Structure 1
Amino acid sequence: MPPSVTDLPALDNRRVKTSTEDVLVDRVIPGEILVIAFGFVSWETRPDFDFYGRLKKLEQASGRHINKILVRDSGNAWYHRRVDGLGMHPDETAASLRALIREIKPSKVITIGQSMGAYAAVMYGMLLDAQQVLAFGPLSFLDPQQALLYHDRRWLSVMRDLAANPPVSGYYDLQTLGRNKAGALPEMHIIFGTKPDQATKESVNLDAMHAHRLAAVGNCTLHPYPYSGHAVVQHLIDTKRINALLARIIMNLEIAEEAREVTADWHKWIAENLKLGSSPQELIDILQHHGFSHASASAAVASKRL
């Protein structure tokens, strides 16, 4: 007889990194929040579990335990086909996650993911009646006809495969799923870049279109980042803002901004733009978008105005 979920040992970095499973459950403390983290796509190797390390840092910052379920889609089917240990299609997978939630008895359920994992975070957030969703750069549909209509060919092959050989259950438009949902919607946070990705050769970032489609469902907060492309999580890591963002949304906790030095290249950029007529406040705003604190950005701009 398998052990109860409440008797499972704590995960560690080695287990998360080397596991061959598609779902891992961390040590459970009933009554604490539960975060279900969905992994992103990987074509060359098996997808990694995502957000485990970030959630451990958040535990340290808050002094509170976070219950965690880590999920990945080894078939890169946007969580519509087999997720080993959970189900063969979304409804079955949702039922298994629902059973785990009942055992864990959390105070709040949060789903999180980026890219492919972000689609799952929104989809399962709605199916599981989660209280919060954090989705970094999600698609809003998996319908190949809509993809062609909006000129979003990035994952068209996946959409066509699902359309040609559909699973028993499927949710191919998250806007429709949200509008048809009975009961309250989760509090959705859609985090996305608005800078066009060079690889797509588009003049706009298609993630912004998907974000606004999801916002139309309601109960949704958009978090646009004008200097990020699709890989908005990596942008937030590079600019040292990811931990503060997660703390604020998940734990309602304000933590100090991580120090980031305004380098010589940035000082040169400030001086050049001041000479070209940019306003100091505009430059401060841009520096803050790149992860510099208001204090360090203000000081750097002030130093070039002397």
Structure 2
Amino acid sequence: MTDPQTLNDDVLQELERGSVEKATSLLDQGLKKWPGSLRLKLTRSDVLIRAGAREEAAEHLAALLDREEAARWAGPRLLTLVKEQPLPAEVAGRLVKPVAAGALEERVKTQLLDALLAGRDAETRVAWLEPVARGAGLFRLEWLLAVALTESCRLEEAVALLEESRLAGRGTARSLLLEAELRAAGGHPEAALDILRDVTRDHPELPDGFRRRIAIARRACRFDECAAVLEEALGKWPGDWSFPYLMNRVPLAPAALSRLFPMLEAAAAAPGRTERFAFQYALAALHAVRLEEAVKVLGSGFAEPTVAYMAGPVAAALAARDPEAWRAGSRLVDDRTRDVLVTRAEGAEATFVLTTGMAFGYLPLPLIDTLFAEQRVNVIYLRDFRNLAYLRGVTSLGPDEASTIAALRGLIGELGARRLVVVGASLGGYSSLRYGALLGADAAVSFSGRTTLEDGLAEARPTIWNPAFFVRQMWLAQGELPRDLVPVLAGAPEMEVLHIHSAGAAEDVAQAQRIAQLPNVRLHAVPGVSDHYAVDHMIGDGSFGALIAALRDGRRWEA
């Protein structure tokens, strides 16, 4: 043994010959003679791996990370080892601390931490990261811990950690977006907006900052801000389909819609627009009462299955009348920033209450009013700006559900009709059945509506990349809310309940079956349809009008 290099070469040759035992013996002798040799220490990991001791090799390499010279070589070797095959949890957990504290290049440290944490549940990641991230002043560790805390549903701790990082100047655009989402989900949309305004100012190149700001401004009922940010975003990213999507969901005043739609129209005329963009443009054209344009776009056909799934039902509904008939028959000039709109019919026999979203099915409310006007009924159109299935009431009618119901009773009494019917579609269908029972309605109709909100909340996968997870957290932050319709409907036996859904929509069928045993409930499956938009198909084939007439008169409706 003349020098470490020569000995190292001898060890490697023995490994090539498959003589692991001899290589181990030579290496032990060399390290005894030259205990400070980095080359021999690194080769120790190769010998351990060949001996089948991967975990021991990993811990050996991790012990070399505290000095920069050694870490430069040991870090990439450890990364390769961890990526080839995940380590047992007890070993990986022990490595997090030396990796986090190691004198590693930032890129390698990030990749190593990601590899060690990959596939571990949130609670495990929190347990491993908390001892090394708290007080370390290293953003990467703070970010990983904040994500783990979020996915463990420890939102307040995650917000505190992200805020600490932000105030110390270590935050990034991504961490600011997460903090904003968490603050909004926790019931503090104004605090979230303060952060997002900074993001869109400091990172004007990031469309996601604009998307989130629009969505959370909507939740905070700052509709003018929604319109202003949309206008800026449409100018920056005219071909991005997500902005017309948001434009169709945000409550826009008529003046704002008139200002924004020409921008969208110009963008739609450019070549290369995706089918998703074209579909959202068609919906925006409906809201702008540019019905001929919507008919043209929807009639062009869609090859992408997810788009065709949505476009087919709205095209079928729109085809029920020509554009001029749709326009001429409506009594309603919509303002999407108002959450209560009323249309009246002289001598009306019935008042209908519609628990809507931004629309009813896919058609905007002025087109829906054409259908009700034909039946000579009053209609109260509601919107839930709190986005809580009306369980916290309608903003302009009161601070909660009870005061909203009281205000609605007064409005219904003023209209003076003999019968009361409540109607809703999708999530609005859940609300229509609940509000029908609370109002003492003669009948309530749900199109493809849920009958419990528990399933949808429980199914939200806990990851920061899943928008439904934040929706679930928003709901949980509200405390105990009634989510099951069965006891509500059982307590209103005099009310006729009609649940209409597509025959082939498995989830909608399952929701309907939950209330099938109640004596006042009738289910109707629309034959030959498998999507979620039963109401649009019924508008298209004319059966919706027959249903409204029967409900108006108090007759039993037969499909």
TM-score (norm 1): 0.61
User: 3-state DSSP class of the match of 1:230?
Assistant: coil
Aligned to 1:302: none
Question: Which shows bigger deviation, 218-227 or 235-244?
Answer: 235-244
Contact kept? 1:36, 1:68, Cα under 8 Å = yes
Question: Which shows bigger deviation, 158-167 or 209-218?
Answer: 158-167
User: 3-state DSSP class of the match of 1:18?
Assistant: coil
Mark the structure with the bigger radius of gyration: 2
Deviation (angstroms), 1:166? 3.2
Kindly indicate whether residue 492 of structure 2 is the aligned counterpart of residue 191 of structure 1.
Answer: no
Q: How does 1:166-185 map to 2 (within 5 A)?
A: 166=479, 170-179=481-490, 181=491, 184-185=493-494
Contact kept? 1:185, 1:219, Cα under 8 Å = yes
- CA deviations 1:99-118 (Å, max 9, x no partner) are 22233332111001111221
- CA deviations 1:182-210 (Å, max 9, x no partner) are x53410111101214xxxxxxxx111111
Counterpart of 1:35 (choices 332, 341, 352) is 352
**1:192 alignment partner AA:** H
Q: How does 1:61-210 map to 2 (within 5 A)?
A: 66-81=377-392, 83-144=394-455, 147-148=458-459, 158-166=471-479, 170-179=481-490, 181=491, 184-196=493-505, 205-210=506-511
Deviation (angstroms), 1:55? 0.5
Aligned to 2:343: 26
Partner Cα distance (1:171, 1:49) in 2? 32
Q: How does 1:6-25 map to 2 (within 5 A)?
A: 13=330, 15-18=332-335, 20-25=337-342
**1:211 alignment partner AA:** A
**1:194 alignment partner AA:** A
Kindly indicate whether residue 513 of structure 2 is the aligned counterpart of residue 212 of structure 1.
Answer: yes
Partner Cα distance (2:511, 2:338) in 1? 31
Aligned to 2:126: none
User: 3-state DSSP class of the match of 1:24?
Assistant: strand
Cα 1:67–1:41 shift into 2, 3 Å: closer
User: 3-state DSSP class of the match of 1:85?
Assistant: helix
Deviation (angstroms), 1:15? 4.5
- CA deviations 1:64-86 (Å, max 9, x no partner) are xx122111113432112352321
Q: How does 1:258-277 map to 2 (within 5 A)?
A: none
Aligned to 1:271: none
In structure 2, runs of 5+ residues without a counterpart are 1-328, 461-465
User: 3-state DSSP class of the match of 2:500?
Assistant: strand
Contact kept? 1:189, 1:223, Cα under 8 Å = yes
Deviation (angstroms), 1:253? 7.0
- CA deviations 1:106-162 (Å, max 9, x no partner) are 21110011112211110100001101011101101112588549xxx9977545422
Aligned to 2:544: 242
User: 3-state DSSP class of the match of 2:395?
Assistant: coil
Cα 1:125–1:254 shift into 2, 3 Å: closer
User: 3-state DSSP class of the match of 1:16?
Assistant: coil
**2:333 alignment partner AA:** V
Aligned to 1:296: none
What is the percent sequence identity of the aligned residues? 27
Matched pairs, number: 221
Structure 1 stretches of 4+ moved >6 Å: 153-156
Q: Larger helix proportion, structure 1 or 2?
A: 2
Partner Cα distance (2:336, 2:501) in 1? 30
**1:138 alignment partner AA:** G
Cα 1:157–1:186 shift into 2, 3 Å: farther
**1:234 alignment partner AA:** D
Partner Cα distance (2:399, 2:336) in 1? 20
Cα 1:238–1:206 shift into 2, 3 Å: same
More relative contact order, 1 or 2 (CA 8 Å, 6+ apart): 1
In structure 1, runs of 5+ residues without a counterpart are 1-11, 60-65, 197-204, 256-288, 290-306
Partner Cα distance (1:50, 1:81) in 2? 28
Cα 1:254–1:108 shift into 2, 3 Å: closer
